[in-house]
Every structure is written in structure tokens, then in C-alpha cells.
Amino acid sequence: MMSHLKTKHPLEYSTTIRQRPSTTPQAPSPQSTIAEAFARGKKYPKDSPRWRELTNSVTHFIGKEMLPFYTVEKEGFRKMLAAFDRQYELPGRKYFSNTAIPELYNKVRGEVASLLRSIDFFSATTDMWSSNTMVPFMSLTVHFITDNWELKSRCLQTAFIPDNHTAETLNEALRAGLREWDLPVEKLACITTDNGANIVKAVRDLGWPWLNCFGHNLHLAVTNSVNDTPNTARAIGICHSIVACFSHSWLKKRDLKKAQADLNLPTHSLVKDCATRWGSQQKMMERLLEQAPAIRRVLGEDRNHSHLSPSWQDIHVMEAVNKALKPLADFTDIMSGEKHVTVSSLLPMMRHLADDVLLEVPEEEGMTASIKRSVLAKMEAKYDRDATQQLMRNSALLDPRYRGDPIKEQHLQHTKDLVIQEIADLEAAGHFPRDDVGASTSEDVEPPPQKKRRTLGSILGKAAIGPAPAELAAMPIRDRVERELERYLLVEVVGGDTSPLIWWREHQSSFPLLAKLAKKYLCICATSSPSERVFSTAGNVVTPQRSLLKPEKVNMLVFLARNL
């Protein structure tokens, strides 16, 4: 009967099925005991491990994601946590602000301090920043290479600087930063800053090794070179006016997209430049050149803005500037990294600029050649200090990708002598214990000699070249360094894509003295971008809605966001 209903009368079949009692045995629903039901309704005690675990998780979430404290009082957030675990009672905003975040800060600070105590050398970057309420801060970030040859960065502080930003004020702020973290100046390899007169004078008064930021140098060289070139001011002004016209009108944006489709142009938006980022000006011009036909069509149909349509002279200037600057945009971002070695590439980069990127070509327009010549001259002037040149040579020598190749012949022997002398000075200061190279102490008990079994390899193989470890340990430090340096320079140069830190990790046992010095130089940053990234984080912490945060809370929150 059911088969007949299913085939001939599907409607009646579905009704019958719904009304038919189920024959499947139902499992009895588990009934909670009174104790279990009471436990599910009871909140976790605030001294219980589960409550602390959940609270620490929320604290980590607030610190890492830079969320405001009032997040914990939002209805949606509390409802979400209640759905996860109804027994957890979320504390209020003041608990996280006054207790949880400071406790997490002290914990992470202790971990960072412990890590810094184990390093041999470190470099630093610093910069100044003002919040949206014009409260001034100074960041301090350190960079170092671990025992496992990993380049690490740690943001130490975002310090409130209420006084006038004179060289003396910044001088004291930098000294206080290292003193607060028990970082000896003797371990400071270098500090990288921009070219501000106050910070430069502060570092020079301290007597610290100093390197000016590659990105800031390039920004000044490009900006000044373009501004000094005749006829560029009008072209740049036209670019700004066009971008502003299309940015402030959705009708213009709509018409631009239609014109792009009709002319088979890429559907790209126009780019607005930023005064502090030179690359944005080149990208703005490049995008306008790409979209020039569509821009002309849209502006030509509007009498009020037809005068903004770029003339052939404007296009000519933009093409000349773009041709000179575009090659620089292809590699400058690489120099701003903080997770890979950058300082050793400064000397090869300057050679690359002079011999390739900014090399004047006879068939180039006069304006393009003039901009190239001006940028190169200004960049070379930024690195003409003897101390800076020597730092660049030492770094290039200790990088297995270059191994002294970019160093001019007349400077190579002097660089070798300085490296040898620096290692000798470090050894005298206790950085290279004698037993590190295999010398045995008088208390060591030598095992009885065992008869070695002769193998085919031992018969046909070459004998080991070089002195025994004990003999090497007895040699003067300068002789040991010279031997290491000679062998190091004979090793084949590795490929440009090879990480110098991985190479040193694999070869530090062969060159223990040079490896120690490599940790000092290869941790230096070519730019001050790491400190600028700190202020990008700070801008997400000190928002217009959180503009009343006290400086000590700003320091804690930025520290946690960068170091968690």
C-alpha cells in the first residue's frame, strides 16, 4: 500500500509519512544531576585557572590587535563570550586598563629584557612622531642577530618627550632608553636615523656610530632634484589638480571608468602623492600618463574643468621625470626591510646607482639626464663621511654575497686591516675566550689514545690543511684573524638570493672570529623604517576616539602590539 501511495499519490504519501508514528527507538535524553545543573549556572571564581586563562586571552587580544579598552563593555562582544562559555564573567574596562594590560606588559618586558641580555651586539633605529593631539613621542627599536643567526627586532619604548626637541633633550632621551634596558653602549653597533639636525647632533654628541637613513636620503635627493629642474613645477601642479578633481567627484569617477572601457585602458584609479613618500609622486605621474586619453575625454566634456587637461608640454615633462625615477622604485622598498640584512647592500647599491640605474644614456632627453645627474650627486654627498664609508665597506666585506667585491682596490687592504684590528680589540675586551677555539684547559682529563682504523679515504684523501686547534689557540689574535680572513676571501661568493645569515650559521665554526664581527655589522638597518612602522602602530592606538590616552598607556599598548 505504501509503495502504491508513493508511486501514484505522492501528496497523500507525504502526509501519511508525517502522521505515521516512528518505529526507531529513541535514546533516552540524559538528565543532569542537580549538582551538574548548578555547576553550569555558577560563574568561575576569579582566582581559578580557567578564569585566568580566559581573561589572559582577552588581554592578549586587546594588546595584539590594538583594540580600545571599552571593547569589553560592548554588548556584542560580551554576548559572544557568553555564547562561548556562560560560566565566564568578563571584567570591566578599568580592570583591563589598570591591571591586566600592565601585568601583560611587565611579563613581555621581562621576556624581551632576558633576550637582550644574551646578545653580543645590537643596532638601533629611532624617530620622532606626534599624535593627532600633537603629543610628541620618540620611538626606540633595537635589532640583533640571535645565536641561531636570525635577525630580530624589538620595540623598546615610545617615550613621551614634552620638552623642546633640542639636541640635548634627544641626547638624554636616547641615553635614558638604553639605561632603562641595561643595554651597554659598548654593544651598540650603530644607530640609524633621518637627517634631522637635532637628532644628528644628539647622536654625534653621544659619540655613537651613526648611519643616515637610505630612504630619507633618497627622498631628499629625488624631491630636491625634481624641484630644481625647470618646468617641473607646472607639470606637478597639473597632476595634483587632476587627481583632486577626480577624487572629489563621483560623477568624474563614473565617467572615467566609462572612458577607460571605451578606450580599452586598464580600470585603474588615479594615485594621490604623499609629501613624505617620494615614490608616490612618480606613481602619480605614471598613472596619469597611462590614463591620459581617458582623462582628456572626461575633462574635454566639462567646460568648468577643461583647462585641467594636460598639454603636450606637461606630458613631455611627466615622461622625462617618470623615465628618470621609475628604475629607483623597483628596488628601494627592499632596503627598508627589518627581517633581512640591508646595511651590507648599501655599498653595492651605490655602485649600482652610479653604473646602471642613474647612468646617463646619450639618447636620453636633457631633462631625464639632468634629474639622474642631480639625484646621483646628492646621494653620493649623503654617504661621503669617512666613518659611513668605512661602515659600508666593513659590512660588504663580511657579507658572503659580496665579500669585498664592491670595495675599490685602494680601500680593500685598509678595510682588512681595520677588521683585523677591531677583532683584536674585541678579544682584548673579552669577547673571544681562548677556549672557544678548541684549547683544552689544565683540568681536562684526556682520554687514552685509540688506534684509528685505516680507511680508503684516509689513505687517498688529502691531509687537513692548517694548524691544530691547540696550536691555533696559542697563536696571537692578529695571526688567527689573518688566517681566517685569507681563507674566507678564497671561498666562492654565494648567489645574491642566498641569505647571508644562513650562510654564516653553516660556516661560523670555520670562521669563528669573523662570525662574531659579522653579528655586529649585519644587524645594522640601512633605513629608519622600523621606527616609522612603530608610529604606524601608534597611529592605530592613539586614534581620535582614544586621544586622551596617557603617555604611559600609549607606551604599553604600542610595546605590546609590536612585541607580542
- Using the structure block, give the residue that is written with the C-alpha cell 608640454: 313
C-alpha cell at 159: 617615550
- Tell me which architecture the domain covering 118-210+528-563 has in CATH: 2-Layer Sandwich (3.30)
C-alpha–C-alpha distance, residues 123 and 393, integer Å? 17
Query: How remote is the C-alpha of 215 from its chain's centroid?
Result: 13
C-alpha–C-alpha distance, residues 488 and 506, integer Å? 13
C-alpha cell at 127: 624617530
Give the contacts of 314 (CB within 8 A, at least 6 positions apart).
Answer: 234, 235, 238
> So what's the pLDDT on residue 450?
47
Helices 366-382 and 214-228: crossing angle in degrees, nearest 10, is 140
Mean pLDDT by 10 residues, the chain (564 residues): 79 72 54 53 88 95 92 94 93 94 96 94 92 87 94 93 92 94 94 93 95 91 89 90 92 93 94 80 92 92 85 90 84 74 90 89 83 93 94 94 86 92 87 49 40 40 44 76 92 85 93 94 91 84 82 92 92
C-alpha–C-alpha distance, residues 47 and 49, integer Å? 7
- Using the structure block, give the residue that is written with the C-alpha cell 544531576: 33
Give the contacts of 27 (CB within 8 A, at least 6 positions apart).
Answer: none
CB 547 within 8 A of CB 132: yes
C-alpha–C-alpha distance, residues 43 and 54, integer Å? 13
CB 374 within 8 A of CB 228: yes
CB 191 within 8 A of CB 126: yes
Residue 231 region by backbone torsions, left for phi larger than 0, else alpha for psi between -120 and 50, else beta = left
User: What residue type is 502 in one-letter code?
Assistant: I
CB-based burial of residue 57 (10 Å sphere; 0-12 exposed, 13-18 middle, 19+ buried)? exposed
Instruction: Kindly list the domain boundaries of the chain, sorted by start residue.
Output: 42-96, 118-210+528-563, 214-382, 385-436+470-526
- Using the structure block, give the residue that is written with the C-alpha cell 545543573: 37
> So what's the pLDDT on residue 462?
39
User: What residue type is 303 in one-letter code?
Assistant: R
CB 381 within 8 A of CB 373: no
Compute the C-alpha angle 225/227/231, nearest 5°. 115
Per DSSP, what are the bridge partners of residue 145? 151
> So what's the pLDDT on residue 337?
74
C-alpha–C-alpha distance, residues 131 and 136, integer Å? 7
CB 524 within 8 A of CB 391: yes
> So what's the pLDDT on residue 26?
53
Compute the C-alpha angle 434/435/439, nearest 5°. 100
CA-nearest of 146, 138, 188 to 528 is 138
DSSP 450-508: -PPPP-HHHHHSPPPPS--HHHHHHS-HHHHHHHHHHHHHHSPPPPTTS-HHHHHHHHT
C-alpha cell at 146: 640571535
Per DSSP, what are the bridge partners of residue 159? 138
> So what's the pLDDT on residue 451?
45
C-alpha–C-alpha distance, residues 128 and 143, integer Å? 18
CB 121 within 8 A of CB 151: no
Give the contacts of 422 (CB within 8 A, at least 6 positions apart).
Answer: 394, 517
Cα–Cα separations (whole angstroms), residue 297 to 62, 172, 239, 300, 319: 50, 59, 16, 5, 20
153 phi and psi, to 5 degrees?
-130, 145
Q: For the chain, how long is the longest CA-to-CA vector?
A: 106
CA-nearest of 197, 229, 212, 257 to 318 is 229
C-alpha cell at 45: 571564581
Torsion sign across C-alpha atoms 38, 44, 45, 48:
positive
CB 464 within 8 A of CB 503: no
Question: How many C-beta atoms surround the C-beta of residue 507 within 10 A?
Answer: 16
C-alpha–C-alpha distance, residues 501 and 149, integer Å? 5
Question: How many C-beta atoms surround the C-beta of residue 166 within 10 A?
Answer: 12
HSE-up (13 A, CA, CB side) for residue 230: 1
CB 557 within 8 A of CB 100: no
C-alpha–C-alpha distance, residues 344 and 393, integer Å? 8
Compute the C-alpha angle 178/180/183, nearest 5°. 40
C-alpha cell at 94: 578599568
